[in-house]
Chains A and B, each alone.
Chain A
Amino acid sequence: MIEVCDLKKYFSSGLLKKQCVKSVDGVSFHIARGDTLGLVGESGCGKTTLGRLLLRLIEPTSGQIFFDGTDISRLNQRELRRIRPRMQMIFQDPDSSLNPRMKIGESIAEPFRLGLRGKSNRREIRDRVLELIETVGLNPEHVNRYPHQLSGGQNQRVVLARILAINPDFIVADEPTASLDVSVQAQILNLIQDLKDEYDLTLLFISHDMEIVRHMSDRIAVMEEGKIVDIGDSEIVTEAHRNLITDSMLARV
Protein backbone atom coordinates (compact mmCIF):
# COMPACT_ATOMS: atom_id res chain seq x y z
CA MET A 1 0.00 0.00 0.00
CA ILE A 2 2.77 2.37 0.94
CA GLU A 3 6.19 2.30 -0.60
CA VAL A 4 8.91 4.79 0.20
CA CYS A 5 12.10 5.08 -1.82
CA ASP A 6 15.14 6.97 -0.61
CA LEU A 7 13.12 9.71 1.02
CA LYS A 8 15.07 12.71 2.22
CA LYS A 9 14.13 15.85 4.06
CA TYR A 10 16.78 18.40 4.77
CA PHE A 11 15.97 21.56 6.64
CA SER A 12 18.29 24.35 5.74
CA SER A 13 18.61 27.53 7.68
CA GLY A 14 20.89 30.52 7.72
CA LEU A 15 21.02 33.30 5.19
CA LEU A 16 22.93 31.42 2.52
CA LYS A 17 21.32 28.12 3.49
CA LYS A 18 24.57 27.06 5.05
CA GLN A 19 23.29 25.03 7.98
CA CYS A 20 21.53 21.85 7.09
CA VAL A 21 19.60 19.55 9.37
CA LYS A 22 19.20 16.13 7.84
CA SER A 23 15.95 15.25 9.46
CA VAL A 24 15.19 12.31 7.21
CA ASP A 25 18.23 10.98 5.40
CA GLY A 26 17.51 8.41 2.74
CA VAL A 27 14.71 6.25 4.10
CA SER A 28 13.15 3.33 2.25
CA PHE A 29 10.48 0.90 3.41
CA HIS A 30 7.07 -0.44 2.56
CA ILE A 31 3.84 -1.15 4.36
CA ALA A 32 1.53 -3.85 3.08
CA ARG A 33 -2.18 -3.22 2.94
CA GLY A 34 -3.88 -3.93 6.24
CA ASP A 35 -0.60 -4.03 8.16
CA THR A 36 0.63 -1.89 11.00
CA LEU A 37 4.18 -0.65 10.85
CA GLY A 38 5.58 0.70 14.08
CA LEU A 39 8.14 3.51 13.95
CA VAL A 40 10.30 3.91 17.03
CA GLY A 41 13.19 6.09 17.95
CA GLU A 42 14.36 8.62 20.45
CA SER A 43 13.15 12.19 20.28
CA GLY A 44 14.74 14.04 17.42
CA CYS A 45 15.40 10.97 15.30
CA GLY A 46 13.11 12.19 12.58
CA LYS A 47 10.12 9.90 13.04
CA THR A 48 7.59 12.70 13.36
CA THR A 49 8.96 14.37 10.25
CA LEU A 50 8.76 11.09 8.39
CA GLY A 51 5.11 10.68 9.34
CA ARG A 52 4.30 14.13 8.04
CA LEU A 53 6.26 13.54 4.85
CA LEU A 54 4.16 10.49 4.04
CA LEU A 55 1.07 12.67 4.06
CA ARG A 56 2.93 15.45 2.31
CA LEU A 57 2.11 17.84 5.10
CA ILE A 58 5.78 18.69 4.68
CA GLU A 59 7.40 18.72 1.25
CA PRO A 60 10.18 16.16 0.72
CA THR A 61 13.58 17.32 -0.45
CA SER A 62 13.97 14.27 -2.64
CA GLY A 63 12.80 10.70 -2.95
CA GLN A 64 9.53 9.03 -3.82
CA ILE A 65 6.44 8.10 -1.90
CA PHE A 66 4.07 5.63 -3.49
CA PHE A 67 0.56 5.46 -2.17
CA ASP A 68 -1.43 2.61 -3.61
CA GLY A 69 0.66 2.70 -6.73
CA THR A 70 0.63 6.48 -7.23
CA ASP A 71 3.74 8.55 -6.67
CA ILE A 72 2.32 11.27 -4.48
CA SER A 73 5.59 13.12 -4.22
CA ARG A 74 5.12 14.21 -7.81
CA LEU A 75 1.51 15.32 -7.67
CA ASN A 76 0.48 18.93 -7.99
CA GLN A 77 -1.67 20.65 -5.39
CA ARG A 78 -4.99 19.92 -7.04
CA GLU A 79 -4.35 16.22 -7.58
CA LEU A 80 -2.89 15.97 -4.11
CA ARG A 81 -6.00 17.49 -2.61
CA ARG A 82 -8.12 14.83 -4.22
CA ILE A 83 -6.07 12.03 -2.79
CA ARG A 84 -5.65 13.60 0.65
CA PRO A 85 -8.80 12.17 2.24
CA ARG A 86 -7.45 8.68 1.77
CA MET A 87 -4.60 9.25 4.20
CA GLN A 88 -5.06 10.85 7.59
CA MET A 89 -3.12 11.66 10.73
CA ILE A 90 -3.77 11.33 14.45
CA PHE A 91 -1.78 13.94 16.34
CA GLN A 92 -0.21 13.79 19.73
CA ASP A 93 -2.13 16.50 21.52
CA PRO A 94 -5.87 15.83 21.32
CA ASP A 95 -6.81 19.17 22.81
CA SER A 96 -5.33 21.16 19.96
CA SER A 97 -6.34 18.65 17.29
CA LEU A 98 -9.85 20.02 17.26
CA ASN A 99 -11.03 23.52 16.41
CA PRO A 100 -11.83 25.00 19.81
CA ARG A 101 -14.64 27.07 18.35
CA MET A 102 -16.46 24.15 16.80
CA LYS A 103 -18.70 21.79 18.70
CA ILE A 104 -17.41 18.28 18.40
CA GLY A 105 -20.49 17.24 16.48
CA GLU A 106 -19.64 19.89 13.89
CA SER A 107 -16.04 18.76 13.76
CA ILE A 108 -17.08 15.19 13.05
CA ALA A 109 -19.65 16.33 10.52
CA GLU A 110 -17.18 18.48 8.60
CA PRO A 111 -15.98 15.74 6.22
CA PHE A 112 -19.57 14.97 5.32
CA ARG A 113 -20.41 18.60 4.77
CA LEU A 114 -17.42 19.00 2.50
CA GLY A 115 -18.88 16.28 0.36
CA LEU A 116 -16.12 13.78 0.96
CA ARG A 117 -18.52 10.90 1.29
CA GLY A 118 -20.85 11.95 -1.46
CA LYS A 119 -23.85 14.17 -1.06
CA SER A 120 -25.91 13.82 2.06
CA ASN A 121 -28.65 15.90 3.60
CA ARG A 122 -28.65 17.22 7.12
CA ARG A 123 -30.54 14.35 8.65
CA GLU A 124 -28.27 11.76 7.10
CA ILE A 125 -25.24 13.63 8.33
CA ARG A 126 -26.64 13.84 11.82
CA ASP A 127 -27.36 10.14 11.90
CA ARG A 128 -23.91 9.24 10.66
CA VAL A 129 -22.32 11.52 13.26
CA LEU A 130 -24.28 9.90 16.08
CA GLU A 131 -23.35 6.49 14.76
CA LEU A 132 -19.67 7.38 14.77
CA ILE A 133 -19.87 8.85 18.24
CA GLU A 134 -21.16 5.58 19.58
CA THR A 135 -18.56 3.61 17.67
CA VAL A 136 -15.77 5.43 19.45
CA GLY A 137 -17.37 4.98 22.82
CA LEU A 138 -18.65 8.47 23.52
CA ASN A 139 -21.99 9.58 24.87
CA PRO A 140 -24.39 10.97 22.23
CA GLU A 141 -25.08 13.97 24.44
CA HIS A 142 -21.46 15.06 23.95
CA VAL A 143 -22.28 16.15 20.42
CA ASN A 144 -22.95 19.69 21.52
CA ARG A 145 -19.92 20.07 23.72
CA TYR A 146 -16.76 21.99 22.94
CA PRO A 147 -13.32 20.36 23.09
CA HIS A 148 -12.31 22.21 26.22
CA GLN A 149 -15.24 20.66 28.04
CA LEU A 150 -13.99 17.16 27.39
CA SER A 151 -10.95 15.32 28.68
CA GLY A 152 -7.90 14.47 26.59
CA GLY A 153 -9.02 10.88 26.17
CA GLN A 154 -12.48 11.91 25.06
CA ASN A 155 -11.07 14.41 22.59
CA GLN A 156 -8.86 11.75 21.11
CA ARG A 157 -11.96 9.65 20.57
CA VAL A 158 -13.55 12.58 18.76
CA VAL A 159 -10.48 12.78 16.56
CA LEU A 160 -10.90 9.09 15.75
CA ALA A 161 -14.57 9.57 14.96
CA ARG A 162 -13.72 12.41 12.61
CA ILE A 163 -11.10 10.33 10.88
CA LEU A 164 -13.59 7.51 10.44
CA ALA A 165 -15.97 10.04 8.92
CA ILE A 166 -13.32 10.74 6.32
CA ASN A 167 -12.93 7.00 5.77
CA PRO A 168 -9.26 6.86 4.87
CA ASP A 169 -7.27 3.84 3.80
CA PHE A 170 -4.09 4.81 5.60
CA ILE A 171 -3.55 6.43 8.98
CA VAL A 172 -0.41 7.83 10.55
CA ALA A 173 -0.71 7.85 14.33
CA ASP A 174 1.93 10.18 15.78
CA GLU A 175 2.31 9.43 19.49
CA PRO A 176 -1.48 9.45 19.91
CA THR A 177 -1.40 8.62 23.59
CA ALA A 178 1.73 10.38 24.76
CA SER A 179 -0.18 13.08 26.60
CA LEU A 180 -2.77 10.76 28.10
CA ASP A 181 -2.92 8.94 31.40
CA VAL A 182 -1.88 5.32 31.55
CA SER A 183 -5.35 3.85 31.89
CA VAL A 184 -6.80 6.15 29.24
CA GLN A 185 -3.91 5.23 27.00
CA ALA A 186 -4.91 1.60 27.23
CA GLN A 187 -8.47 2.47 26.28
CA ILE A 188 -7.50 4.55 23.28
CA LEU A 189 -4.92 2.08 21.98
CA ASN A 190 -7.42 -0.72 22.21
CA LEU A 191 -9.92 1.42 20.36
CA ILE A 192 -7.43 2.13 17.59
CA GLN A 193 -6.74 -1.57 17.30
CA ASP A 194 -10.44 -2.41 17.11
CA LEU A 195 -11.13 0.25 14.52
CA LYS A 196 -8.20 -0.86 12.44
CA ASP A 197 -9.52 -4.39 12.34
CA GLU A 198 -13.09 -3.38 11.68
CA TYR A 199 -12.39 -0.88 8.93
CA ASP A 200 -9.43 -2.74 7.46
CA LEU A 201 -6.98 0.13 7.78
CA THR A 202 -3.28 0.38 7.15
CA LEU A 203 -1.44 2.05 10.01
CA LEU A 204 1.91 3.70 10.67
CA PHE A 205 2.27 3.89 14.43
CA ILE A 206 4.91 6.32 15.68
CA SER A 207 6.09 6.32 19.26
CA HIS A 208 9.17 6.57 21.43
CA ASP A 209 7.88 3.73 23.60
CA MET A 210 8.93 0.38 22.21
CA GLU A 211 6.55 -1.55 24.39
CA ILE A 212 3.47 0.20 23.02
CA VAL A 213 4.72 -0.12 19.48
CA ARG A 214 5.34 -3.81 19.92
CA HIS A 215 1.79 -4.25 21.05
CA MET A 216 0.25 -2.37 18.18
CA SER A 217 2.43 -3.37 15.23
CA ASP A 218 3.11 -6.32 12.97
CA ARG A 219 6.47 -4.98 11.92
CA ILE A 220 8.69 -2.35 13.47
CA ALA A 221 11.18 0.11 11.99
CA VAL A 222 13.76 1.64 14.29
CA MET A 223 14.97 5.11 13.39
CA GLU A 224 18.13 6.85 14.44
CA GLU A 225 19.30 10.25 13.25
CA GLY A 226 17.25 10.27 10.12
CA LYS A 227 17.96 6.74 8.99
CA ILE A 228 16.19 3.44 9.51
CA VAL A 229 18.66 1.22 11.29
CA ASP A 230 16.52 -1.86 11.66
CA ILE A 231 13.26 -3.12 10.30
CA GLY A 232 11.49 -6.41 10.68
CA ASP A 233 9.07 -8.50 12.67
CA SER A 234 7.92 -6.86 15.92
CA GLU A 235 9.16 -9.45 18.36
CA ILE A 236 12.59 -9.78 16.77
CA VAL A 237 13.22 -6.06 16.52
CA THR A 238 12.00 -5.45 20.07
CA GLU A 239 14.45 -7.98 21.46
CA ALA A 240 17.30 -6.44 19.55
CA HIS A 241 16.51 -2.94 20.81
CA ARG A 242 15.59 -3.40 24.43
CA ASN A 243 17.17 -0.07 25.28
CA LEU A 244 14.17 1.69 23.82
CA ILE A 245 11.79 0.09 26.25
CA THR A 246 10.83 2.56 28.94
CA ASP A 247 8.99 -0.03 30.95
CA SER A 248 12.09 -2.03 31.83
CA MET A 249 11.66 -2.01 35.59
CA LEU A 250 8.24 -3.46 35.60
CA ALA A 251 9.21 -6.17 33.20
CA ARG A 252 11.13 -7.68 36.07
CA VAL A 253 8.07 -7.99 38.21
Chain B
Amino acid sequence: MSQYSDVFKSIKIRSELVILESNRAMLMGLVLLITFLFLAVFASFIAPYDPWEIGRPFLRPSLEHPLGTNDIGQDIFSELIYSTRISLFVGIFAASVSMVLGTLIGLFSGYLRGVVDEALMGLTDVILVLPALPLMIILAAHLSPSIWNIILVIGCLWWTSTARVVRSRVLQLREMPFVEAARALGAGDAYVVFRHILPNTLHVIFAKFVLTVAGAMLTEASLSFLGLGDPMQKSWGMMLNYAFSRGGFINGYYWWYLPPGICISLTVLGFVLLGFGLERWTQNNSDFINV
Protein backbone atom coordinates (compact mmCIF):
# COMPACT_ATOMS: atom_id res chain seq x y z
CA MET B 1 0.00 0.00 0.00
CA SER B 2 1.44 3.38 -0.92
CA GLN B 3 2.86 5.19 2.07
CA TYR B 4 1.24 8.45 1.21
CA SER B 5 -2.16 6.88 1.23
CA ASP B 6 -1.46 5.69 4.79
CA VAL B 7 -0.97 9.25 5.90
CA PHE B 8 -3.78 10.82 4.02
CA LYS B 9 -6.25 8.18 5.05
CA SER B 10 -6.23 9.66 8.50
CA ILE B 11 -7.00 13.02 7.05
CA LYS B 12 -10.07 11.31 5.74
CA ILE B 13 -11.25 10.67 9.26
CA ARG B 14 -12.77 14.08 9.30
CA SER B 15 -14.46 13.39 6.02
CA GLU B 16 -15.67 10.14 7.49
CA LEU B 17 -18.13 12.22 9.44
CA VAL B 18 -19.41 13.43 6.13
CA ILE B 19 -19.80 9.85 4.99
CA LEU B 20 -21.63 9.02 8.17
CA GLU B 21 -23.97 11.90 7.58
CA SER B 22 -24.64 10.88 4.05
CA ASN B 23 -24.90 7.33 5.28
CA ARG B 24 -27.67 8.27 7.63
CA ALA B 25 -29.54 9.85 4.78
CA MET B 26 -28.77 6.87 2.62
CA LEU B 27 -29.96 4.55 5.34
CA MET B 28 -33.23 6.38 5.67
CA GLY B 29 -33.71 6.27 1.93
CA LEU B 30 -32.95 2.58 1.90
CA VAL B 31 -35.42 1.90 4.71
CA LEU B 32 -38.17 3.77 2.90
CA LEU B 33 -37.52 1.95 -0.34
CA ILE B 34 -37.34 -1.46 1.22
CA THR B 35 -40.65 -0.80 2.95
CA PHE B 36 -42.36 0.08 -0.31
CA LEU B 37 -40.73 -2.80 -2.11
CA PHE B 38 -42.03 -5.08 0.58
CA LEU B 39 -45.51 -3.67 0.16
CA ALA B 40 -45.33 -4.14 -3.59
CA VAL B 41 -44.16 -7.72 -3.47
CA PHE B 42 -46.46 -8.90 -0.71
CA ALA B 43 -49.39 -6.74 -1.68
CA SER B 44 -51.74 -9.68 -1.96
CA PHE B 45 -50.99 -10.72 1.62
CA ILE B 46 -51.10 -7.27 3.15
CA ALA B 47 -54.09 -5.73 1.47
CA PRO B 48 -57.30 -6.62 3.26
CA TYR B 49 -59.43 -6.54 0.11
CA ASP B 50 -59.15 -7.10 -3.60
CA PRO B 51 -58.83 -3.52 -4.85
CA TRP B 52 -60.97 -4.28 -7.89
CA GLU B 53 -63.81 -5.56 -5.80
CA ILE B 54 -66.73 -3.23 -5.87
CA GLY B 55 -68.55 -2.53 -2.63
CA ARG B 56 -70.31 0.28 -0.85
CA PRO B 57 -69.08 3.63 -2.19
CA PHE B 58 -68.17 6.86 -0.39
CA LEU B 59 -67.50 5.25 2.97
CA ARG B 60 -65.43 7.29 5.41
CA PRO B 61 -62.37 5.75 7.09
CA SER B 62 -63.34 3.13 9.63
CA LEU B 63 -62.00 0.01 11.22
CA GLU B 64 -63.31 -2.09 8.36
CA HIS B 65 -61.95 0.24 5.69
CA PRO B 66 -58.97 2.12 7.17
CA LEU B 67 -59.00 4.62 4.33
CA GLY B 68 -62.61 4.37 3.35
CA THR B 69 -63.85 3.48 -0.12
CA ASN B 70 -63.82 5.38 -3.38
CA ASP B 71 -66.70 6.35 -5.64
CA ILE B 72 -67.27 2.84 -6.88
CA GLY B 73 -66.79 1.19 -3.53
CA GLN B 74 -63.24 -0.10 -3.86
CA ASP B 75 -61.21 -0.18 -0.66
CA ILE B 76 -58.74 2.66 -0.82
CA PHE B 77 -56.20 1.11 1.50
CA SER B 78 -55.97 -1.97 -0.70
CA GLU B 79 -55.81 0.25 -3.76
CA LEU B 80 -52.94 2.12 -2.20
CA ILE B 81 -50.96 -1.01 -1.53
CA TYR B 82 -51.51 -2.52 -4.95
CA SER B 83 -50.65 0.76 -6.61
CA THR B 84 -47.19 0.45 -5.15
CA ARG B 85 -46.56 -2.22 -7.76
CA ILE B 86 -47.45 -0.20 -10.79
CA SER B 87 -45.92 3.05 -9.62
CA LEU B 88 -42.63 1.40 -8.73
CA PHE B 89 -42.65 -0.75 -11.83
CA VAL B 90 -43.23 2.12 -14.22
CA GLY B 91 -40.71 4.28 -12.42
CA ILE B 92 -37.96 1.69 -12.41
CA PHE B 93 -38.60 0.36 -15.87
CA ALA B 94 -38.86 3.76 -17.48
CA ALA B 95 -35.70 4.85 -15.70
CA SER B 96 -33.97 1.71 -16.94
CA VAL B 97 -34.95 2.41 -20.53
CA SER B 98 -33.73 5.97 -20.31
CA MET B 99 -30.52 4.89 -18.54
CA VAL B 100 -29.68 2.35 -21.22
CA LEU B 101 -30.45 4.82 -23.96
CA GLY B 102 -28.55 7.62 -22.26
CA THR B 103 -25.56 5.41 -21.50
CA LEU B 104 -25.28 4.12 -25.05
CA ILE B 105 -25.58 7.57 -26.50
CA GLY B 106 -23.10 9.00 -24.01
CA LEU B 107 -20.62 6.17 -24.58
CA PHE B 108 -20.54 6.36 -28.34
CA SER B 109 -20.81 10.11 -28.49
CA GLY B 110 -17.89 10.53 -26.13
CA TYR B 111 -15.72 7.80 -27.57
CA LEU B 112 -16.21 8.31 -31.28
CA ARG B 113 -16.35 12.11 -31.23
CA GLY B 114 -16.45 13.91 -34.55
CA VAL B 115 -19.66 13.86 -36.55
CA VAL B 116 -21.36 11.28 -34.35
CA ASP B 117 -20.70 13.34 -31.27
CA GLU B 118 -21.94 16.53 -32.87
CA ALA B 119 -25.12 14.89 -34.12
CA LEU B 120 -25.96 13.15 -30.86
CA MET B 121 -25.23 16.17 -28.71
CA GLY B 122 -27.28 18.30 -31.05
CA LEU B 123 -30.17 15.93 -30.56
CA THR B 124 -29.64 16.07 -26.80
CA ASP B 125 -29.70 19.83 -26.87
CA VAL B 126 -32.94 19.90 -28.84
CA ILE B 127 -34.67 17.59 -26.40
CA LEU B 128 -33.33 19.47 -23.41
CA VAL B 129 -34.64 22.71 -24.79
CA LEU B 130 -38.16 21.45 -25.31
CA PRO B 131 -40.25 21.73 -22.16
CA ALA B 132 -40.48 18.22 -20.79
CA LEU B 133 -43.95 17.90 -19.41
CA PRO B 134 -45.84 19.50 -22.30
CA LEU B 135 -43.87 17.33 -24.70
CA MET B 136 -44.71 14.22 -22.78
CA ILE B 137 -48.34 15.22 -22.58
CA ILE B 138 -48.50 15.63 -26.31
CA LEU B 139 -46.82 12.31 -26.93
CA ALA B 140 -48.92 10.49 -24.38
CA ALA B 141 -52.08 12.01 -25.76
CA HIS B 142 -51.31 10.69 -29.22
CA LEU B 143 -50.50 7.21 -28.08
CA SER B 144 -53.05 4.87 -26.65
CA PRO B 145 -53.18 5.01 -22.88
CA SER B 146 -51.22 2.03 -21.59
CA ILE B 147 -48.39 1.72 -19.13
CA TRP B 148 -46.02 0.54 -21.84
CA ASN B 149 -46.56 3.73 -23.74
CA ILE B 150 -46.02 5.72 -20.60
CA ILE B 151 -42.76 3.88 -20.05
CA LEU B 152 -41.79 4.52 -23.64
CA VAL B 153 -42.53 8.22 -23.43
CA ILE B 154 -40.63 8.72 -20.20
CA GLY B 155 -37.76 6.57 -21.41
CA CYS B 156 -37.37 8.47 -24.65
CA LEU B 157 -37.25 11.84 -23.04
CA TRP B 158 -35.39 11.34 -19.79
CA TRP B 159 -32.09 10.05 -21.17
CA THR B 160 -30.52 13.40 -21.84
CA SER B 161 -28.88 14.22 -18.53
CA THR B 162 -27.52 10.67 -18.27
CA ALA B 163 -26.05 10.96 -21.75
CA ARG B 164 -24.35 14.20 -20.84
CA VAL B 165 -22.87 12.89 -17.63
CA VAL B 166 -21.69 9.63 -19.20
CA ARG B 167 -20.20 11.50 -22.13
CA SER B 168 -18.08 13.76 -19.95
CA ARG B 169 -16.78 10.76 -18.03
CA VAL B 170 -15.96 8.99 -21.29
CA LEU B 171 -14.12 12.03 -22.58
CA GLN B 172 -12.02 11.91 -19.45
CA LEU B 173 -11.35 8.20 -19.72
CA ARG B 174 -10.53 7.91 -23.39
CA GLU B 175 -7.36 9.99 -22.96
CA MET B 176 -6.00 7.66 -20.34
CA PRO B 177 -3.10 5.37 -21.05
CA PHE B 178 -4.95 2.20 -20.18
CA VAL B 179 -7.46 2.89 -22.93
CA GLU B 180 -4.65 3.55 -25.38
CA ALA B 181 -3.06 0.34 -24.18
CA ALA B 182 -6.26 -1.55 -24.97
CA ARG B 183 -6.28 -0.10 -28.46
CA ALA B 184 -2.65 -1.06 -28.78
CA LEU B 185 -3.69 -4.64 -28.15
CA GLY B 186 -5.52 -4.48 -31.42
CA ALA B 187 -8.93 -4.37 -29.78
CA GLY B 188 -11.82 -2.93 -31.76
CA ASP B 189 -13.85 0.08 -30.65
CA ALA B 190 -16.78 -1.90 -29.27
CA TYR B 191 -14.49 -4.02 -27.10
CA VAL B 192 -12.68 -1.00 -25.70
CA VAL B 193 -15.92 0.81 -24.98
CA PHE B 194 -17.68 -2.05 -23.25
CA ARG B 195 -14.77 -3.76 -21.56
CA HIS B 196 -12.72 -0.79 -20.44
CA ILE B 197 -14.69 2.40 -20.55
CA LEU B 198 -18.10 1.24 -19.40
CA PRO B 199 -16.95 -0.37 -16.12
CA ASN B 200 -15.32 2.90 -15.17
CA THR B 201 -18.51 4.84 -15.74
CA LEU B 202 -20.72 2.55 -13.70
CA HIS B 203 -20.48 4.56 -10.53
CA VAL B 204 -21.68 7.63 -12.35
CA ILE B 205 -24.50 5.69 -13.98
CA PHE B 206 -25.68 4.03 -10.82
CA ALA B 207 -26.12 7.19 -8.84
CA LYS B 208 -27.85 8.82 -11.77
CA PHE B 209 -30.15 5.82 -12.15
CA VAL B 210 -31.55 6.10 -8.68
CA LEU B 211 -32.29 9.77 -9.16
CA THR B 212 -33.85 9.08 -12.56
CA VAL B 213 -36.25 6.60 -11.00
CA ALA B 214 -37.45 9.35 -8.71
CA GLY B 215 -38.01 11.60 -11.68
CA ALA B 216 -39.73 8.89 -13.68
CA MET B 217 -42.11 8.11 -10.84
CA LEU B 218 -43.06 11.73 -10.50
CA THR B 219 -43.59 11.98 -14.23
CA GLU B 220 -45.82 8.91 -14.29
CA ALA B 221 -47.80 10.33 -11.41
CA SER B 222 -48.19 13.63 -13.25
CA LEU B 223 -49.23 12.02 -16.50
CA SER B 224 -51.70 9.74 -14.78
CA PHE B 225 -53.12 12.59 -12.77
CA LEU B 226 -53.71 14.47 -15.99
CA GLY B 227 -55.66 11.53 -17.25
CA LEU B 228 -53.08 10.26 -19.71
CA GLY B 229 -52.27 7.16 -17.76
CA ASP B 230 -53.62 3.67 -18.12
CA PRO B 231 -57.12 3.56 -16.64
CA MET B 232 -56.96 -0.20 -16.37
CA GLN B 233 -54.04 -0.09 -13.93
CA LYS B 234 -53.97 1.11 -10.38
CA SER B 235 -51.20 3.58 -9.67
CA TRP B 236 -50.95 6.40 -7.21
CA GLY B 237 -51.21 8.87 -10.04
CA MET B 238 -54.43 7.26 -11.23
CA MET B 239 -55.78 7.35 -7.71
CA LEU B 240 -55.14 11.06 -7.64
CA ASN B 241 -56.76 11.39 -11.02
CA TYR B 242 -59.96 9.75 -9.85
CA ALA B 243 -59.82 11.61 -6.58
CA PHE B 244 -59.85 14.81 -8.54
CA SER B 245 -62.29 13.94 -11.26
CA ARG B 246 -64.82 12.29 -8.96
CA GLY B 247 -65.04 15.29 -6.68
CA GLY B 248 -62.72 14.22 -3.93
CA PHE B 249 -60.92 17.53 -3.70
CA ILE B 250 -64.00 19.66 -3.76
CA ASN B 251 -65.75 17.64 -1.12
CA GLY B 252 -62.74 17.48 1.08
CA TYR B 253 -62.41 13.69 1.08
CA TYR B 254 -58.83 13.89 2.21
CA TRP B 255 -58.63 10.11 2.52
CA TRP B 256 -58.90 9.96 -1.26
CA TYR B 257 -56.01 12.22 -2.17
CA LEU B 258 -53.67 12.50 0.83
CA PRO B 259 -52.57 8.83 1.03
CA PRO B 260 -51.43 8.48 -2.60
CA GLY B 261 -49.80 11.91 -2.47
CA ILE B 262 -47.89 10.98 0.67
CA CYS B 263 -46.85 7.67 -0.81
CA ILE B 264 -45.49 9.32 -3.93
CA SER B 265 -43.60 11.83 -1.83
CA LEU B 266 -42.11 9.22 0.46
CA THR B 267 -40.97 6.94 -2.35
CA VAL B 268 -39.43 9.77 -4.30
CA LEU B 269 -37.76 10.96 -1.11
CA GLY B 270 -36.39 7.48 -0.60
CA PHE B 271 -34.86 7.37 -4.06
CA VAL B 272 -33.46 10.85 -3.80
CA LEU B 273 -31.84 10.19 -0.43
CA LEU B 274 -30.34 6.99 -1.74
CA GLY B 275 -29.17 8.65 -4.94
CA PHE B 276 -27.48 11.58 -3.26
CA GLY B 277 -25.95 9.29 -0.68
CA LEU B 278 -24.50 7.19 -3.48
CA GLU B 279 -23.05 10.24 -5.20
CA ARG B 280 -21.44 11.32 -1.94
CA TRP B 281 -20.09 7.82 -1.38
CA THR B 282 -18.49 7.62 -4.82
CA GLN B 283 -16.82 10.97 -4.25
CA ASN B 284 -15.32 9.71 -1.03
CA ASN B 285 -14.09 6.46 -2.48
CA SER B 286 -12.54 8.03 -5.48
CA ASP B 287 -9.20 6.26 -5.27
CA PHE B 288 -10.88 3.09 -6.40
CA ILE B 289 -12.85 4.75 -9.08
CA ASN B 290 -11.01 7.74 -10.33
CA VAL B 291 -7.76 7.54 -12.11
Contacts and interface: CB of A to CB of B under 8 A. Distances in A.
Judge A-B direct contact (beta carbons within 8 Å): yes
Interface of A: 55, 57, 81-85, 87-89, 91-93, 95-102, 110-111, 114, 116, 146, 148-152, 159, 162, 166
B178 A98 contact: yes
A149 B1 contact: yes
B181 A116 contact: no
Contacts of A149: 1
A169 B188 CA distance: 21
Nearest to A52: B180
B184 A57 contact: yes
A166 B184 CA distance: 10
Contacts of A95: 291
B114 interface: no
Given A99-B199, A101-B199, A114-B187, A148 B287 contact: yes
Interface residues of chain B: helix, strand, loop or mixed (majority):
helix
Interface of B: 1-2, 176-178, 180-188, 196, 199-200, 202, 287-291
B174 to A, nearest CB: 12
A241 B184 CA distance: 33
A89 B200 contact: no
Contact of A97 (B178, B200, B288): B178
Given A91-B177, A149-B1, A96 B291 contact: yes
Nearest to B5: A148
B183 A57 contact: yes
A114 B187 CA distance: 8
7 contacts: A84-B185, A96-B177, A99-B182, A101-B200, A101-B289, A114-B186, A159-B181
Contacts of A102: 199
A89 B181 contact: yes
